Copies of this chain bind each other. A is one copy, B any other.
Amino acid sequence: MDLSERKKKILRAVIESYVQNAEPVGSKAVADWARLDVSSATIRNDMADLEEKGYLEQPHTSAGRIPSPKGYRLYVNELMEDYKLSMQETERINQTLRSKMKALDRVIDEAGQIVAKLTRYPAFALTAAPERITIRRFDLLLIEQNAFIAVVMTDTNVVRNKLFRLDRDLSESQLQMLGTLLNTGFTGLTLGEFGPELARVAQHAAQEAYELIQLVVTFGAEVLEELVKRPIHTAGIANLLGHPEYQSLEKAQPLMSFLSDEDFGPFPARAEPGGPTDIVIGPENVAEALKDSSVVMASYDLGDGMRGLIGVVGPTRMDYAKISARLTYVAKGLAWIAGQGGLPPMAPPGGKDTKEEIS
C-alpha cells in the first residue's frame, strides 16, 4: 500500500494548493504547482489511482480533486514539513502575550482570543485539573464587622476569593477559630468528600458556627467544581465566516452553535504537554458537528499537575503546519508564563531560526 514518490508529491501538491485556494485541483494545476517533469496526462493517471486508494475525492466528474480525510492524515503524518515561524510572527506573538499579561487566570482566558486572532480560526482554551484536586488552605480576612473575605487555595495553586456579608457581627477571634476549623477539617478533601465531612461537623459545632462553615465550604466546593468541570472558553467564533467552506449558513450554523455551547464535551485531549500538537481530521472527530471540520490543539504544562489546552477549529482544509507551529509557540509561551510566575517572555521561548514563508 506504499505510494510511489511521485504520487506522494502529487498528493502533497493537491493538498497545498487546495489549502491555499479552496478549490478542487486539476491535473494541470498539479503539473504547474509541483515541478514534476511529466505531463498532465501522467498526473491524471496517478490521481485516479490516488482516488481509488482513498486519498483524494472528486466533488463530481469533471471537477478537480480534493483531499480526503485519509489524504490529510497521510499528509499530516508523513508529508508535512515543519513550518518555521518567521521573526515577525514570533515577535508579534510575544508582544501580544506580553501586553495581555495579567494574572495567569486571565491569561488563559485570553489565550483563546490571542490564538483566534493569530490563526483567523475560532479558538478554544481550557485548563484541566487533576482528578483529585483539593483545597490546600483557607484564609479569612475580616474587613468590616459584618463582612469578610474568604480566600481559598487549591493544591494546584489556584487562588479564588469571595466576599461574604453577614446579618450579624463577627469578631477577629471568631474568624480565626473559623479559619482553624476549616483548615483542619476541610483541607485535603476532594469534592465528593465535602458532603460527609460537613454532615459530621454539623453534629459537633454550634448552629452559628456551622452556618459560617457551610458558607465557606460551599464556596470552596464551587471552586473545585469549576476547576474539575473545566469550562471551555471560546473566542473568535465569527472567524468561521471568513472561510469559504462556511459561507453557506447551513454549514456554518451547526458548528457555530456547537462552539457557542459552553461545554462541548470533554475533549479527548490526547496531546502530551509540551509535545506535538494533536490533529483531529474531519470524521475522526467524535462530535457530530465536527465531522466536516478539523481540530488542532496543543497542550501545555501549568505546573502542579494543572494542564492547559488551546486549540482551533477550522475546515479540514487547514494549513496544518502553520497552525501547529503557532499553537505550539503560544502554548510554550503560556507554559513559560506559568513557570515564571507571571513574567512575560522577553525572547522567543523556543529559539527558532527563521525561513522565508508565505503568510
Contacts and interface: CB of A to CB of B under 8 A. Distances in A.
Interface of A: 102-104, 113, 137, 139, 141, 143, 149, 151, 153, 157, 159-165, 219, 222, 226, 235-239, 241-242, 247, 249, 252-253, 256-257, 259-260, 262, 341-342
9 contacts: A113-B262, A139-B149, A151-B151, A159-B161, A159-B162, A161-B161, A162-B342, A235-B260, A239-B260
Contact of A102 (B164, B222, B241, B259): B222
A249 B241 contact: yes
Nearest to A238: B256
Nearest to A102: B222
Contacts of A139: 141, 149
Nearest to A222: B102
A260 B236 contact: yes
A256 B241 contact: yes
Count the copies: 2
A216 to B, nearest CB: 12
Contacts of A164: 341-342
State the 6 A-B residue pairs at the shortest beta-carbon distance, nearest first.
A238-B256, A165-B341, A238-B260, A103-B162, A241-B253, A159-B161
Secondary structure of the A contact surface, majority rule? mixed
Contacts of A137: 143
Contacts of A163: 104, 153, 157, 159, 341
A341 B163 CA distance: 8
Given A151-B149, A222-B102, A260 B241 contact: no
A259 B241 contact: no
A342 to B, nearest CB: 8
Contacts of A241: 249, 252-253, 256
A120 to B, nearest CB: 11
A19 to B, nearest CB: 21
